[in-house]
């Protein structure tokens, strides 16, 4: 079984249901964008797949294995997870942080091939110039690039990115997401990313999953999911839906005269 399967997940955090009987199948070679307003359960869903959040009910399956808290190390081996919080408290260089992507195979002596692989990934992502910088001295956007390089170095089968471009400028957003796209297609990854920018999600994802209050309100292609009615229902915002030269939806919120938050 090469798909990642979520079966009737129910997740409760405090008094809030962040997932209600949620079932999804993620296939190899596809990018899935998890969308929804703040508090919809997007990040919690990724944490649940990684094993950081306990399930009230349901199962998560991948390659004939079922997520179980007593076997988390084995479960996480094929997963490359980049959390929303990119702060690193340790006194490490950016290169050191990237090398942690090979933590399972690192020894007391760093071999040349691993070092060169790390430098090559950093060059591809566009952060090689940061290699010897203290990770704590970097901006939020620079740390996102470093942690993305770390995830890529680990050669995962499942790539999970929580708001990977939230602190990046337009150029680096394009660079990072293009790498996500190319790696997913070339290596047949299962890629799941949480992203707030609906137009970027439409541009890079094969399938969108629109969440609200822990339930799926829409799922499918960008054109199917990002309709004015569905967006208004979930986000409480009126939009204008345009299309770029390739026919991909571009979402523009309409300005409101209301001054209330």
Strands lying side by side in the sheet with 65-66: 16-26, 4-13, 57-62, 65-66
Q: How far apart are CA 190 and CA 158, in angstroms?
A: 5
Ramachandran region of residue 23, left (φ > 0), alpha (ψ -120 to 50) or beta? Answer: beta
> Using 50, 70 and 90 to split pLDDT, how confident is the model at 70?
confident
Per-residue pLDDT of 152-195, as tens digits, reads 999 999 999 999 999 999 999 999 999 999 999 999 999 999 99
Per-residue pLDDT of 232-242, as tens digits, reads 999 999 999 99
Per-residue pLDDT of 42-68, as tens digits, reads 999 999 999 999 999 999 999 989 998
Q: Residue 26: in which H helix or E strand, if any?
A: strand 16-26
Q: Quick one: 167 and 252 in the same domain?
A: yes
Strands of 120-244 (E only): list them.
158-162, 190-194, 207-212, 215-220, 239-243
In this predicted structure, the answer to whether residue 105 has a pLDDT above a threshold of 80 is no
Percent of the chain with pLDDT strictly greater than 90: 82
Q: Quick one: 210 and 222 in the same domain?
A: yes
Q: Quick one: 73 and 197 in the same domain?
A: yes
CATH number of the domain residue 20 falls in: 3.40.50.300
Q: Would you say how long the chain is, in residues?
A: 261
**Structural domain span for residue 6:** 1-78+156-172+180-261
Q: At what angle do helices 170-187 and 140-153 cross, to 10 degrees?
A: 10
Provide the whole-model pTM: 0.93
- Looking at the structure of the chain, the number of domains it has is 2
CA 248 vs. chain centroid, Å, equals: 21
Q: Taking residues 115-138, what's their average pLDDT?
A: 95
């Amino acid at each position: 079984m090469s798909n990642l399967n979520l079966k009737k997940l129910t997740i409760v955090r405090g008094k809030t249901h962040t997932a209600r009987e949620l079932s999804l199948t993620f296939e190899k070679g596809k990018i899935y964008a998890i969308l929804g307003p703040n508090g919809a359960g997007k990040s919690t869903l990724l944490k649940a797949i990684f094993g950081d959040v306990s399930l009230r009910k349901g199962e998560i399956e991948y390659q004939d294995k079922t997520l179980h808290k007593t076997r988390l190390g084995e479960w996480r081996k094929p997963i490359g997870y980049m959390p929303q919080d990119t702060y690193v408290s340790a006194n490490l260089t950016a290169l050191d942080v990237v090398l942690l992507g090979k933590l399972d195979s690192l020894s007391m002596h760093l071999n040349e091939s691993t070092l060169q692989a790390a430098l090559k990934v950093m060059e591809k992502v566009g952060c090689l110039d940061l290699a010897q910088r203290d990770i704590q001295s970097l901006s939020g956007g620079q740390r996102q690039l470093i942690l993305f390089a770390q995830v890529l170095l680990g050669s995962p089968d499942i790539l999970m990115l929580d708001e990977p471009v939230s602190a990046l400028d337009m150029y680096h957003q394009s660079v990072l997401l293009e790498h996500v796209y190319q790696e997913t297609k070339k290596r047949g990854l299962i890629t799941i990313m949480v992203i707030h920018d609906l137009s970027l999600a439409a541009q890079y994802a094969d399938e969108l999953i629109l969440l609200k209050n822990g339930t799926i309100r829409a799922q499918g292609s960008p054109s199917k999911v990002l309709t004015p009615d569905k967006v208004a229902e979930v986000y409480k915002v009126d939009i204008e839906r345009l299309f770029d030269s390739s026919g991909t939806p571009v979402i523009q919120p309409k300005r409101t005269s209301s001054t209330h938050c």
